[in-house]
Amino acid sequence: MNLTRYAARRLAVGAVQVAAVTGLVFLMTEALPGDAAVVLAGDQPDPARIAQIRAELGLDRPLAERFTAWAAGMARGDFGASLVSGRPVAEIVLDALAPTAVLAGLTLLLLIPLSVLLGVAAALREGGRLDRALTAAGAALYAVPEFALAIVLVAVFGVALAWLPPTGLGGLTAATLVLPVTVLLVRPVCSTGRLIRSTMIDVLAAPYVRHARRLGLGRFAHALPNALAPAVQHLARTADWLLGGVIVVEAVFVIPGLGSALADAVGQRDLPVLQGLALLFAATTVLVNLLADVAAFRLAPRA
Amino acid sequence: MRDRLSRRGFLGLTAGAALLAGCGTGTATTSSGSPGGGSGGRLRAVFAGGGATEVLDPHLANLFNEAARAKALYDKLADLGPDVSPQPRLAEKWEPNADFTVWRITLRQAHFHDGRPVRARDVLASYARIADPGRTFRAKSSLALIDLPGSRAVGDRTVEFRLKRPFAEFPNVLAAFGTYIVPEGTTDFSEPVGSGPFSFVSWKPGSSVLLKRNPDHWDGAPYIEELEFLIANEESARINALLGGQVEYAHDLSPASARQYEGRVTVVRAPNSAMQAFAMKTDRAPFDDRDLREALFLLTDRQQLVDAVMPGAGQIGNDLFGKGYLHYAEDIPQRTFDLDRAKALIRKAGAEGLTVELTTSTAAAGFVEAATVFAGQLRAAGLKAVIASGSKDTYWADILTKGSIASFRSGAMPIETHIAQRLLSASTTNATRWARPEFDALYETAVSARDAADREAAYLKMQQMLHAEGGLLVWGFADWIVATSPKVSGVQAAPANTLDWARFDKVRLG
């Protein structure tokens, strides 16, 4: 298939998906009990005051009108302002994007060489001691949820031994990144490594690799690209998952990223911020998956 | 961009409009120690906060971290002392006329961080901004009784407030939560200029605010050179950051953390800080029956609740707000557990086997735990108790109108303010629906009688009524717990929202 046409069609579908997600998020937030005015009034829920806050925020307008206004703003590139602080949504989202991008980027960057290394090492000696040790350790670690691992690592390395800072308070530095990135890495390394191991074993046994080997060519260089193609799609799913995993990790390590912003926005019913974040999450998912498919196509063009 | 409007959520545990209960008149002056040089250093303090949507506008302060920052940057005319009575701050003294309708406030000599003096006009402009009918600032209702157009500046350092009705407790208003004095004409608070002990350096929304020592503060310069506010919403993260040396001060810790880490860190417990209660609605079945309300008072094993919910960090309550505060009725005997009398009253009310739906949520720490323990106590007295858990984000608005009994708590505020906001027929946040004309009349006497003895008698009478048959079952008072690194000294055990709480200008490092 023509790659450009394929990508263009996927992008168009993606745009529809993103629009659908923001619409859904809007409706789902509406369905939550209470609105930003009630949340803002907090422990001073004087009904007259709530009504006035609601009017000031424009929350007393009909749902369709508010959604249309938001969509019209979007079309002009205006993401609106937070109901709670009045700060522009674009600013809030961009501020929160930086720490999350650092976390997710670093995790992906380390994930690829680590899982390839472990997967290939295990595959080359299939059934050997290293393979069995890696498989067992991988299965065990994969079963530990992020928050549990995070709490244990903080208690041990942050508090008891005091080798590393227990939280990201005061800004992200190399030292504060160690624990959160470790937590984010563990499960994807286990799953990606295992995937690479099994495809590598299949590919190594394939006739063309055996043929290359008979001809005295490196089996490795021929096998790896084919073994990586399924792994790339798996990486795309991992990138999506990272956005979710980041919410937990950001909460435990106090990192003011997208996950924290999302949790705050839901708690405060801050619809414009929530919409901005939903838009970013949806667009990222669509783009990452598209890139993965294109990359897989390039690695193994037979599809 | 929309004007910043907002007020956000719960003050953690406290419901907090903090004003204070004053004795009315009074011309006190504060001691103003003026330490010479600071001991230097940066103190990093971590609080729970509102995340990336937080604001620096002191009139929008709502959460504890916002209140603590506002207090570092700005001053109020008065603030609450250890017994939650009003203490003069920017106001050097206050003098009412005979019927408490006109109050003359003399300002002390103070300056904003940019060098301009704090003038009477700044006070009037700040109050006018808060009271703006088009806005919804938290302190607006506190200032509602001031006739602002009729009030005036007499020279630069005297303000004459004219009130809409006689009010002997006016200094409570001057100390009300969020009534900070800002320079006249301020509209942009992105680089705040106040008169407080610290001046602004930088702000990263959602993560940090850095302030520096104001060497010219009228109440003496701070000892520390810099003060940084950090945000961590999880209690575990706050204590971990303290243990890991990332901060020197962690605000609002759980009794469990305090016990576990006391010794490694310095724990400061402020008693009588957070009232713990169940609010019964007195206007509807089943708690419109005074016998049933009394039965609930009697079947409550207060010590069991304190031990279960806040072990080592609280005391039992006597169904009255404001233990230890000015005007508190100390002499009303402590109510004790009496299951037999409770059962007899339940029988008398015809409520045996009645199903009670107890509303709670995770809106405040310990709510669900307390509700669970209390449900067991209700069952022991022959009532059927069902726990209904609601949304934490909208909890306070929900319990105002819905249900019949709900978990309730409140932070420090003057007893007068508590009554005005929650217990009068016209109160807008009356969760117990307590509405008695004779009680309203007693309140009027308490805040306007010319003779102080008459006012005090009215306070006692109101509390006797509430103790006998009110809707608020006050079972305990939680300590307010903060912890610091061992090298920090000078942190006072003061309830949140009072003057000495989060008072970083009096703290030393090293």
Phi, psi of A260 (to 5 degrees): -65, -45
Q: What is the pLDDT of residue B1?
A: 35
Residue B113 or residue A290, greater confidence? B113
The pTM of this model reads: 0.87
What is d(CA A278, CA B483) in angstroms, rounded to the nearest whole number? 38
Of A56, A158, A267, the CB nearest to B393: A267
What is d(CA B79, CA B88) in angstroms, rounded to the nearest whole number? 7
Q: Is residue A84 a part of any domain in this protein?
A: no
Residues A55 and A118 in one domain: no
Cβ contact (<8 Å) for B6 and A40?
yes
Tell me which of B236, B393, B421 to substitute to probe the interface with A (most A C-beta atoms closer than 10 Å).
B393
Chain A interface includes B246 (CB < 8 A): yes
Angle in degrees, 0-180, between the axes of helices A258-267 and A219-253, rounded to the nearest 10: 40
Q: Is residue A157 a part of any domain in this protein?
A: yes
Q: Which residues of A5-24 are buried (b: 16+ CB within 10 A; e: fewer)?
A: eeeeebeeebeeebeebbee
**A100-156 pLDDT per residue, tens:** 999 999 999 999 899 989 988 888 888 888 889 988 998 899 999 888 999 999 999
What is d(CA B421, CA B439) in angstroms, rounded to the nearest whole number? 14
Cβ–Cβ under 8 Å, residues B160 and B151: yes
Q: Is residue A86 a part of any domain in this protein?
A: no
Q: What is the pLDDT of residue B68?
A: 95
* CA-angle at B270, arms to B267 and B274, nearest 5°: 125
Identify the helix (H) or strand (E) that includes residue B360.
strand B355-360
Last residue of a domain, one of A49, A75, A101: A75
Last residue of a domain, one of A25, A44, A75: A75
Of A41, A260, A261, the CB nearest to B7: A41
Residues of B in contact with A79 (CB under 8 A): none
Cβ contact (<8 Å) for B8 and A40?
yes
B338: DSSP letter: -
Q: Is residue A83 a part of any domain in this protein?
A: no
Chain B residue with minimum CA distance to A150: B237
Cβ contact (<8 Å) for A85 and B55?
yes
Query: What is the CATH classification number for the domain harbouring A195?
Result: 1.10.3720.10
C-alpha distance from A185 to closest chain B C-alpha (Å): 21
Burial class (CB in 10 A: 0-12, 13-18, 19+), A2: exposed
Cβ–Cβ under 8 Å, residues A84 and A261: no
Residues A158 and A224 in one domain: yes
Q: Is residue A81 a part of any domain in this protein?
A: no
User: Which residues are CB-contacts of A50 (< 8 A; sequence separation ≥ 6)?
Assistant: A37, A38, A41, B397
Cβ–Cβ under 8 Å, residues B325 and B414: yes
Number of folded domains in chain A? Answer: 2
Q: Which two tokens stand for residue B248?
A: 């020197």
Q: What string of DSSP letters covers B77-89? A: SEEE-TTS-EEES
Phi, psi of B112 (to 5 degrees): -75, 165
Cβ contact (<8 Å) for A34 and B397?
yes
Residues A147 and A233 in one domain: yes
Residues A7 and A111 in one domain: no
Q: Which two tokens stand for residue A141?
A: 């670690």
Chain A interface includes B243 (CB < 8 A): yes
Residues A100 and A60 in one domain: no
Residues A20 and A100 in one domain: no
A159: DSSP letter: I
Q: Which two tokens stand for residue B395?
A: 């909890």
Q: Which residue from A92, A253, A104 is spatially nearest to A166, judged by alpha carbons? A: A253
Q: How far is CA B191 from CA B55, B97, B136, B195, in A?
A: 11, 39, 22, 13
Chain A interface includes B188 (CB < 8 A): no
Residues of A in contact with B231 (CB under 8 A): 254, 256
Residues A66 and A99 in one domain: no
Q: Is residue A229 a part of any domain in this protein?
A: yes
Cβ contact (<8 Å) for A256 and B397?
no
Q: Which residue from B337, B377, B344, B345 is spatially nearest to B358, judged by alpha carbons? A: B377
Last residue of a domain, one of A75, A103, A118: A75
A42 pLDDT tier (thresholds 50, 70, 90)? confident
**A53-90 pLDDT per residue, tens:** 888 888 888 888 988 888 898 888 888 888 888 889 99
What is d(CA B40, CA B170) in angstroms, rounded to the nearest whole number? 38
What is d(CA B138, CA B189) in angstroms, rounded to the nearest whole number? 17
Q: What is the pLDDT of residue A218?
A: 65
Residue labelled with tokens 């021929």: A222
Residues A38 and A105 in one domain: no
Q: What is the pLDDT of residue B11?
A: 35
Residues of B in contact with A178 (CB under 8 A): none
Q: Which domains does chain B have, with CATH numbers?
A: 2-74+196-265+485-509 (3.40.190.10), 78-174 (3.90.76.10), 273-478 (3.10.105.10)
Chain B interface includes A73 (CB < 8 A): no
Residues A207 and A279 in one domain: yes
User: Which A residues, 21 through 60, put their C-beta within 8 Å of a C-beta on chain B?
Assistant: 32-34, 38-50, 52-53, 56-57
Residues A71 and A95 in one domain: no
Q: What is the pLDDT of residue B29?
A: 34
Q: Which domain covers residue A266, as residue numbers?
A: 91-299
Q: Which residue from A276, A277, A43, A251 is spatially nearest to B8, judged by alpha carbons? A: A43
Residues A171 and A36 in one domain: no
Identify the helix (H) or strand (E) that includes residue A18.
helix A3-31
What is d(CA A74, CA B1) in angstroms, rounded to the nearest whole number? 14
User: Which residues are CB-contacts of B206 (< 8 A; sequence separation ≥ 6)?
Assistant: A95, A96, A256, A260, A261, B49, B51, B52, B53, B54, B231
* CA-angle at B318, arms to B370 and B80, nearest 5°: 95
Residues A206 and A283 in one domain: yes
Cβ contact (<8 Å) for A162 and B394?
no
Q: How far is CA A58 from CA A36, A83, B1, B260, in A?
A: 11, 10, 13, 48
Q: Is residue A82 a part of any domain in this protein?
A: no
pLDDT 10s digit of each residue in chain B, 510 long? 333 333 333 333 333 333 333 333 333 333 333 344 456 899 999 999 877 667 899 998 888 899 999 999 999 999 999 999 999 999 999 999 999 999 999 999 999 999 999 999 999 999 999 999 988 898 999 999 999 999 999 999 999 999 999 999 999 999 999 999 999 999 999 899 999 999 999 998 888 999 999 999 999 999 999 999 999 988 999 999 999 999 999 999 999 999 999 999 999 999 999 999 999 999 999 999 999 999 999 999 999 999 999 998 999 999 999 999 999 999 999 999 999 999 999 999 999 999 999 999 998 889 999 999 999 999 999 999 999 998 888 899 999 999 999 999 999 999 999 999 999 999 989 999 999 999 999 999 999 999 999 999 999 999 999 999 999 999 999 999 999 999 999 999 999 889 999 999 999 998
- Classified as helix, coil or strand, B386 is strand
User: Which A residues, 211 through 240, put their C-beta within 8 Å of a C-beta on chain B?
Assistant: none
Q: Is residue A267 a part of any domain in this protein?
A: yes
Q: What is the pLDDT of residue B28?
A: 36
Question: Is it true that the peptide bond before A180 is cis, omega within 30 degrees of 0?
Answer: no
